Each structure stands twice: as C-alpha cells, then as structure tokens.
Structure 1
C-alpha cells in the first residue's frame, strides 16, 4: 500500500489493540477503502499544513478529467473553485485558513469550469502538541443534482423560451430596486414593450414561427440597449425593461426609438420572412410612482396610449393618460353598439391620376359618429378596430355599404377599400364580395380591394385560392403597404394585382433630403411597369414631395394637398359633374392632430410666480402672453406642470407678449408633444412642503430655500385683459 494511503488506516487503541468491534486487519481495511473509492460511493482527500493537496482518490481525478499527478502538491484552493458563479473570491481558501471543519461546499475544478460538481467536507487534524497538520475530508459527485436544481431555479426566475428574466424575476428586481432607491433618492425608469402585429405571425405562420420570432426579438433588445439594465419577457409578446439611475427623457426617448427601429427590421424565419412593430410605454420612479405597482401601472398606461396613438411609437406617462385610457376602453366596448345602431359611416378620399389630375376613384374610410364622443375620424377608428373581435363583421358591412354608394356614381369612378386580414382569411369572404356586387348591381371592375402583404403570412394555398377567385370575379386588386419591410417579388408573381400601393412611411421618408427613399420608389415604379401594374402613393402633404413623386413616374396619388377625406354627400356632388379634376395646392395642409398648446402656465422670476398664457411651444423656446414691460434678458423658470421646470431667457418683448429661449432644449414626448428632459424630484418637492402642482401662485421661497418671510413683491404687472382673468 502506498504511503499516501496511510492517513486513512485504522488508529490503534490506547493499549495497542484494535478499536472495539473491529475484526479486520489493516490490509483488509485499506483494501476495503480502495474498493469504496473505486465504486464511487466514497471519495477522500487530504492536505498538508500548507494547504497543498497530499492525497486524492484516483476516481475523483478521473471524474474531473485531470491527471492525478498534476494535482497532488498543488494548493487545494487553486485546484477547486466555487460551483456557483456568484462572484465569491476565496471561500475555500478562507475555510482552509480558519482550520475549522466544514461540509456541503459545492466546487468544480478550476481548469474544468463546465465539468463535474463535487460536494466537499473536511475536518482539521492536529498533532499531539496541538500543531496543525492539515485537512482530511470526503467528496461526493453531485453533478446531476446540481444541474437539476440549477435548471429548476432558472425556470423559476427566467423565461424558458428567450432566456430573459421572467415576470416573477422582473417584479422582484423592480420591487427591490425601487425600494432601495427610494431611501437613496435615486431614479429608476421602467419600459413596457408590446409587439405590434405579432398575433398575425402566430396565426398565419404558426406557433413555432412565433416562438422563433420572440427569440430574435429578445436578442435585438439586448443589442439595442447599451447601458446597465434588466430585460424581461412577461409572457406572450410583452416585454419589460428596467433602467436604474436614468430619468433623462431625452435619453429614454432615444433608447425607445432605437428599440422600435431595431424590432421593426425584417425577420427571417424557417416559415418565411415577416415584419412586426413595437410600441413602448415609459414611466420613471419616483416621478410617476414611488412603488413598483405604481410605476408599472404608469408604464402600462403609457404603453396603452402609444398603441392607441398609431403603434410603432413611444409615450411617457402623464397624469392625463389614465382618463384617456378609461375612455378608450369604453369606446372599444361601445363598438358593437355603434355597428348595430348604424353609428358607423364612410368618408371618401379621392384617388387622382397624377398626369391628368382626374379623379378616378374614391377610397372608403370608416368613421364613427359616437353618441357621446361625437365624430371619431378614420385614423382613430382604425386604431380602435385593430385587434377587435368585430373587425371581420365591420369589414363585411363596409364592403356592402361602399358598393351601394358606388352603384350611384358615374361608371368612370371606382370605389376602393382595404380588407382586414381576418376578413380575407374568412371562408365566407368571397361570398360576401359576390353578394355585395349582386345586390347593388355594381360591376366587379369598379370595386378595388386593397390586400395587405400580411395575408401572405397565411396558408399559401388558401391565399392563392382566394386571390384566384377574386380575379375570376373581376374585382380589381391592390397590393397594400408595398415597401413596408417584408415586400417580396413572390407576391407579385403569384397574385393578379392591378395596383401597387407604396407604403405611406416610405412615401413620407421620401420627402427628406438624402433621396434614398426616392430611389426605392423609382425602383418600385419600374418594377410595376415591367409587370404592367399601376402605382399609388398616398399621404402627400407638400408640393415638393408631390413633384418628386411625379418625376419618379407614380401613376396615382392621394393626400392632403389634393383632398382630405370628406362626407359621401360632398364627394358625390363633385363626381356627378363633367369630370372631377383636382390640382394640388400648398394651401391645403393635413388636419392638426396635436393637442393645443394654448393654456395657462406659471413662470417664476426671483421668488414670485406669475400665471401667463402659453401661446406656442418649440424645442428651443416658447411664446408667453400676459405680463407687461418685461425687459429683454430677463430670466424665468417656466413651470410646464408635473415638476417640469425649464430655465428660459426673454429674447424679445412686445407689450404683453414675450419670446423665450430655453437654456436646455425640450425633447419629444413620443406623441408629437414636447417635455423637459428632467423633472424636479418629488423628494425635493416634498422637502418644500408640497407638490409643485399644489403650490399657489406667489412666493416660491419655500422651494428655493431663500431667507426671509412674508409675501414676495412682483416686479412685473399683468396686462389689462390678463389682470381681469386673475381677479
């Protein structure tokens, strides 16, 4: 027996005889221990007084896939490292250095970090004089148990599909972070993300494609955010991001736009290519809530507003959103009543031949005359309808209604309308179209149906059959949203389209100076010409864009500079004449959809607050009205509400009106509005005694900490009309 086995031999009793109960010789005992080692049921190790490995069962070395000769004599603390990757520096070295017994320590070989996991136990050995001789211990292979527990823990805290944090982990992280940050008066931003058009991919390409898509989205999110954060998938197509120590809404807006831009890029899946979108809601603690529940709820409301605003957008939370969200849900619930009580109606926008300016068709847009809200225009109605269970039923109503109207128009004017994907894939769709044409005696070639590229996500055979039956029926077909990111020549080869409608976002971007999008539009026009198809561009808002598109060879145009959507009676009065022609005009502009800026705000000078009227607002400055004799160079703190304070200088002054220039530019709020980058912390407001919104106009000494008591003295007087408003 080798000398390295001597440490495990039986110790003699006080009189030299074997301990009670032992009937084996030393050789038999050593043979038994070697059998035990080789069986894998028991492993042994020993170190010397300097912490170097003196003995190791050969079977352990084999399990670690390391030569035994290279291990003996090496420091034990360098041979093994903790199995858990938790950043612990020297737990084994500390245990060995303390000369105290230990057990249950999970380790792995430092040279084989992905290999076997061992559970070590050891006890110190001391000589007769009390000197430390080293450690003796045992080991056990717990590899399977370790990885099984690790997987169980991973499933409990991480999403099994994407590897991101799951709902429970995100809730725990946000809760603990906000709680800790509340004591330290630090900020924490939370983003809620929802994928747009993901359901279409899942429904048409299948759940396997949807799962692969979610994996790719998770990867893109990780690459889009280049700062400390935690990203989680809450379930379905909903994601969440926590960004600690960030309250700059300019930076947050840039991150949100980068996420939106990266998520909407085309995806290549085994089942085909697709494009989706992303909407983002943003809330910041402590401004939008001081608990996890409050902040997440605020981010949810902001996300809901972003989706309702047209999708592919981001929104910051504001106090107005809660009422907006409640009212929006009521509208969605009222949709069935709106259909049954005939509150829905169609408006029409002319389709104009670019060269002759002649109106050749009218595109139907669905609007809603709500009993309480009043008229809901086509853009807002489309966002309400999307995702509704009534989308198919309302689509059927629109086809019948449009055909009945067009039957009364001149034969030279077609009617066009879009077909929702759920209606196109409905088995009764062809019968709906045929019945509408038959009941109204409308020739099939006067009905033009716009088919979204999204229908091609579905069963190819079913799509081809439906398109073929529409072609036999004689209906004209338009491929809608071409150039939106997942366009394919295969669609044009497979389907009998008459017109290609260029995606509105591509048209809008074509108005920029770089001209890259115009090059794409020229290519689409050339492709359409080769396939003997017409081209249509909508949403044209400027003469410059119109001229550029016309030079590209666009066949048909639409947009505010030609004609906005109008009531049926209005357009019918025009088309019943000799021939309706419309010349573009720069005097016509799109309806303003932004919230009005005309409102009362406070401006602070020294320690006094004045109420004024905000006339307009830009990134760089504002125009206020209400104060008299304010000299140029005067500095104000402009209170835009909700803790938004902007330092501004008067750059021009005329009577009761002043032009202000901001010291720091405002940033986009995601919905066409402007906000300050940062807000006054609620902690600072609380230390002043009350939220800023609750402080009455007058002295701001409590906030600034200025000395003195009593009411401040105003330096500027109100204009006569403003003074009457103050009374």
Structure 2
C-alpha cells in the first residue's frame, strides 16, 4: 500500500502491419485508439514538418543555383512548398482534434503524403547529383540528409508516410552516388538511410507502446476505482488514511457514520482519539488500543487487529488492517488502512466459545471448562502455597426417574438440580456438569477444610429436597466425593481421580453422603483393577465353578431341583465372593460372556440328572437386553439335550426399568421355548404389579430379608409374605422362600403358604459331585439340614 510502489509497464507484441495501418488484428490492444494517437502526434508536428521542408528546399536551391537554371529551380521550390503545404493542411485538418479513435482509412491516407514528398525530393539527386561540383555536391547531400533526418523526426509517428518518404528519397541518393564513382559515399548513404528508417520505425513503435500502457493503466485505475466504490457501498468496510502524526487526512463517509459523527468532522482528528471515544478523556484505554498505538508508533504493518469501540453506549468490535506509506523521497508519510465492523462475527464466536465450554441443557460449565478452571486453581495454589479442592457429585436414584418417567422429565429435573447447585457456590467456587447425572465443584480457596466439608453436606441436603415436576413429587439424592490439593494430588488428572474414588466410596455406602479421599481408596481401586484383569481370564483358565443349592417343596421337603450359583477361586487371591466380582463383571461388560458360560455349563449338568429335577439360573439385566439371548438359550438347550421345562431363569425387577426396553420381548421368546421364569427378590425393589401383568412368570421368589423378619415376628414382613403368596396363587404362580435357615423358619413359610423353599436349612451350595449324589440317592426323599 506504499505510495512509492510502481506498476510495471506492459510489453505487448506490436503488429507491424497494424502499426502501418495496413490491417486491424483485433487483439487485446485497442488499435482504433492507437491510430488516433498516431494522427494526433502527426498533427502536433505538422508545423515543424513544414518548416523543415522550407529550410531544406532553400538550402538545396542555394547549393544548385550556380549549376541549374533558375527558372527550373524556382519551379521545383514551388512544387516542394506546395506539397509541404498540402501535407500540413491535411494533418492540421484531420477531423476532430479531440477524437479518441481513428479508422484504418485515416492512417492509410497518410501514405500518399510520404510518397508525394519523396518523389519531389528525389528529383534533386536524380537531376543534379551527377553534374554537381564538389562544393555544390556537398551542399546538396547535406540538405538531403537534413530533410531525411527531419522527416524521421516529424513523420516518424506516422510510419506509413515516413518510411515511404525515406525509401523513395534514399534509394535515388544511393544509386546516384554509386553511379558517380563514389562507392564509399554510396555505402555511407545506404547505412544512413537504413539507420534513419530504423529510427523512424522505433519512434512509431515507442508511441504505440506508450499509448498501450497509458490505456492499460487508465483501465486499471477505472477498475480499481469502481471496485473501491462498490466495496464501500456494498460492505461494512471502509478506507482511511492518516498522516505521520496519526491524524486523519482521508476517511470514507461510512467511517464517520459508523462512529456516529458527521463526515466532515474527521479530518485532522487523531485516529486513536476517534477509536477511544469517551475513554480518550480518562486515559483508560483497552489493551487492544494500546497494542494498536504501539504498532502505529513502530510504523509496522498489521492485519486483522481487533479493537473494541464504544459507539453511543454500544460495545462494537472493529477489525483494522493498515500499512505505512512513504512519499517519493522515501520519507514516512503516515498509514493507509481498511477497517470493518465484525461485531456480529465476534458475538457468534463468543457464542461458539460459550457452547464449547458450557452445558447446553443446564447452562453450567461443562467438563472442558471445569478442567480448565481446575488447572488454573491448581496453578494458583502451587504459586501461593495454598490449597484448592475438587468435588464430584453423582445423583442418587436419578436413573429410576429417567427410566420410569422418560428422558424429557429427567432433563427438566437436571435443570432444577443445576439451579439449586448454582445458588450454593460463591465467587471462589465453580460448579459444572460433567455429563449425565454427574456434576463437579472446583473450590479455589480450600484453606478452611471444615467449610469445604460443610459445602459438600449442603449440596447433599439441597439436592435431596423433593421436586415438584409435571404433577409428580420426585425424590432423588446426591453422593459426593471430595479431594484436596496438594494433599490428594498435584495435577488435575490426579485430583479428579482421587475425587472419583471418594465418590465411589460414597456410593458403596448407599449414597446420600460425602466422603473425602483416603489413600486406602487408591489401594481398593488398584485391587479392583487387578481383579478385573484376573476376571477377564477366569473363564478361559477354568477358575470359575458352579455350586448347586437345593430347592425343595416347602410342604414335604422333597427335592425339586437346584439353583446354580457362580463361584470363583483364584489361584493366588483365593475364593472371591460373588458380591465382589459380580458387580465388577457387570461394570466391565464381562457379564455376557460369563453368563453364557454359566448357562451352557448348568444345562449340560442338569441334563445328566434324573427327571424331574430342575435347574434355576440367575440372569442379569444386561443379558436380557441382548436381543440374541433367546437364541443363546435355545442353543444351550439343544446342545445339552435338557428339556426346556426343566430350565428356570431367575430375573429381577431392574430388567424392566429401562425405557423402551427389549427385555419383555426377549422374555416372551424364552417362554415360547417352554422355559420357566421366576421373578427374583420381589418386594425389595419397586414391586410394580405391571411386571406380573405383562410377563408370564411361573414363580415369585420372596427375599430372605422378609423371611428372617417374619421369623422374628415382624408384622409388616408377615403381611408382605401373605400378600405375595395370595397374589401368586391368584395368578397361578409358585412362591419360593429364600434364606430358610432354621426349622422355625421352615414351619413359618409352610404356614404362610409358600410352595417352595431354599436355604442353609436344606443345604448349602454344593459342588457338582455332591449335587449329583443327592439327585440320584435322595431325589424323592426329604432334604434335611446340611449346615
């Protein structure tokens, strides 16, 4: 953008015939305008041409006066002056002197002028060249040379005329000198004529090139001007210039309008004053304006520099680019630049930035923003030797709301929770949503541990208050895991892991509490990790076994079958209790493979037993949500040869809690195979009667907690067992009492009407060989306690 920059001249190919006016090539050069330039140049040199002709004729006449008749010379002079007058008048009288274009005919008409003048002047060397004395000959050739040179100068812009004149006059001169015995002079004349011809042609070509460049530059200037006008009229951008003192010397009217000022008021004002607005008086400039001032001071170009502008109380954003300009001496002359209003783009960018760092559902900071805030808090704590804290919050019983009432209700519940949580934090804390029903809190100042723990308890109490939503009263809770830095971790990753482990402990305790991180939690987590690795290889290495617990007729004590119970004995860790590895298998997505092994193994074993002994197998909800599970059951029955009615699958109510579940369809397919279904742990969960109405269960299992409570005389437990038995009888289902451990409990479940029983009173879970022995020896006998 510097004013000292130059535009290189174009060098087009010049068509010689077009330049002579013999044809119109129609190429990229506008030859009509070139021809007009040639004729205008001839017009300007017409009087000089006439003067040269008069002077040359007078000199020639003086040289030949002693040799030639005066009358003949007089006639030749009249002829020469008449022809020169004719040519001069023709040139001066060419159409409109302001004409911009000329035709081929206009240029061709100059050819006869050169021919006529050449023929007239060729009379002298032809008539007198051979008889002139040495002195007269020298004067004659001097005059002729003068005429040739002046013709090249005054007629060169019209190459058709000038080359015709030079050729017609030059050839007789060369021939005459050669015939008079002066070959050296003839050769000199030939060289001179050729040189004058080339000079005339070059002069004509230079005129063509000059005019072509002028036209190209003019067209380029028009294009640039047009583009600039369109640019300023159709866009939100504007141009400006400042001098060396950074005062505005030129500015687009749009610039003044964008500042809310009149166009004529900008000249002479400092650019920084215009951009600073009201802050110019106070001196409180933005960082961006300071940066602009530094760049102007250092006289360096800059591009797309964002500047905040206050226009009539509204914050706008401009984007400015500029380059320094210099005068013809190379001295700094100011800046020339362009500005544009990018407020809308800036707002859109800010919105995108917000969307990238804030949760769209709750409006709270998202995981990315929380991680950034935690990293900042850790850096500040490390710098000042302070402490910060991180909490992870998980909602208790939220999944049940989602599954029973649907995700739209769950989303609105999350919004209510977010509003409550937002009201609890101060300026030194940030609360955000990590995803799902997980939230987190970054506490920048955790020097007071008691205050941090009080905040954790307040979060639990606040979230646990009931919610009125869509005519539903909803009860959820919260579990919190707390970690302090630098005690529990010096990096964001370590601190998050510590808080997560603490949250895991809170969930293990039943939820509704907070737990601070302890080193033992890491040990437990490492144990789970090692256990998961071992669990993945347990089936392949044959470390899994099945134990079989007898299920008996509650009235007679006769054996009905067994429930297959999974056991795991690790060669190094020993016996791992099911309560420890079954949840781990579900978390690690291993329950499907393990469940398939249990199903196939139990079916193979039960097929060896004498009929009608049945086998009962617990099935997880993850297995039933697999659409191919019914096919797997069919394959296990076919491979083992076990009759379908001898297989009973036990499921819990959690199977039905997922919204849009496919489990009901899978269960119907299993029933169609002839397999029996049992609803396990009935009464401990939601106990919806809809489950029994939608699925054809064959039996209901009463949890051992009710059996033991009833044995102690608890009226509520007794009432629940009676109600379940009555419900099962009305639906044609059997009832199985779990956890019967004493004769008193056995008599009680008999009295209450339970049809089946199992527990330590009838036998502990047995290894496979003992189960086979019982089936073969005591299949029709009463099973006694085998504790």
Taking structure 1 as the reference length, what is the TM-score of the superposition?
A: 0.50
Structure number with greater Rg is 2
More helix per residue:
2
